[in-house]
Amino acid sequence: MRSVGIIGASGYTGAELMRLCSGHPELQVVFATGDSQAGTPVADLYPSLAAPYPDRVYQSWSPALLDGVDGVFVALPHGASQALMGELLTTGVKVVDLGADFRLPDAGAYQQWYGEPHTRADLLDQFAYGLTELYRDDIVGSDAVANPGCYPSAANLVLAPLVRAGAIDTSGLVVNAVSGVSGAGRGPKANTTFCAVDEDVTAYGLLSHRHTAEIEMVLGAQALFTPHLVPMSRGILATCTARPAASAGEQGLDTTEALLGVLAEAYADEPFVVVSERPPSTKATLGSNSVHLTVRHDPRTDTVLAIGALDNLTKGASGAAVQNMNLLLGLEETAGLGTAGLYP
């Protein structure tokens, strides 16, 4: 067994990490911190975790907790992991950071999108970007991974193979995505109460959502990204449109069949990616580490329509983090991760 700790375990992604690790054949959670919940039994905050963690209590963070630990998940809000990352990396433990602090390649980009200076720019080049299906070679052999954001995971997994194949024009990418309320975190907010979200759909972060930076980083092109909050607990559906590349016809990439073939070939050996003609749905991915993808070419408007669906807390966050930790620790990549969604 490998010992792992979770820093920031009292949030939704932390709870999802604890759920996934409880069924993992090789990972054992030896500490779970939550400074705001220190002293609180895990089972009191999350009764769903009572069976696997009947006596676990949230602890305050202390470097002494790292003794004998093989890997650490950091599940803190953006800006928070910078203060402790230097200390973590010098201990030799493998680190997966679920926050945004080390996803972008330079401090200037972080300040542009997050509105504050990056205090540990010297550590940025130590992190591999953790969108595993696209950056596996960078992750294997690394000591630290910056887990991707949930929205970029859905959009980039469906668009990147089309960009790499030269099938779409990257000058006019549009990503419209909807997300469940758990993406806003566990903390109470006026716009995420039941009365605020029930029977409502809201667009937010217009022209400036932080995840735009990751989408553009992976695709190497500008994109217009608009997120929407919808009244469900978890899940993301990203609907992306683009024009076919000028050479798409010459390459034979101007039909739905050909575009589906591009996705199918790109992900032929990927256990967590489903490529199908079926329209993806969030519920089909619920609780799983799978992402469901499809693509169409509309000859009437000469538009490519690409859609991805995933569970924002699993494949969009904690499931991907476990997948990355498996790689960092030399374990089977699929260990502890399911591909089947919960239905109904």
Give the amino acid at 259. L
| Residues 309, 281 contacting (CB under 8 angstroms) | yes
For residue 271, count other CB atoms closer than 10 A to its CB.
Answer: 14
- Burial call 96-126: b when 16+ CB within 10 Å, e when fewer: bbbbbbbbbeeeebbeebbeeebebeebbeb
Catalytic residue among 21, 150, 195, 240: 150
Distances (CA, A) of 168 to 122, 160, 305: 36, 10, 10
- Per the CB < 8 A criterion, the answer to whether 336 and 24 are in contact is yes
Side by side, the strands of the sheet bearing 202-203 are 202-203, 223-229, 168-179, 236-244, 303-310, 291-298, 273-275
Bridge partner list, 339 = none
Beta bridge partners of 127: 144
Q: Which amino acid is at 99?
A: G
Q: Is 21 a catalytic residue?
A: no
Closest CA to 40 of 49, 189, 192: 49
Long-range contacts of 134-138 (CB under 8 A, 24+ apart): 134/160, 134/218, 136/327
Active site residues: 150
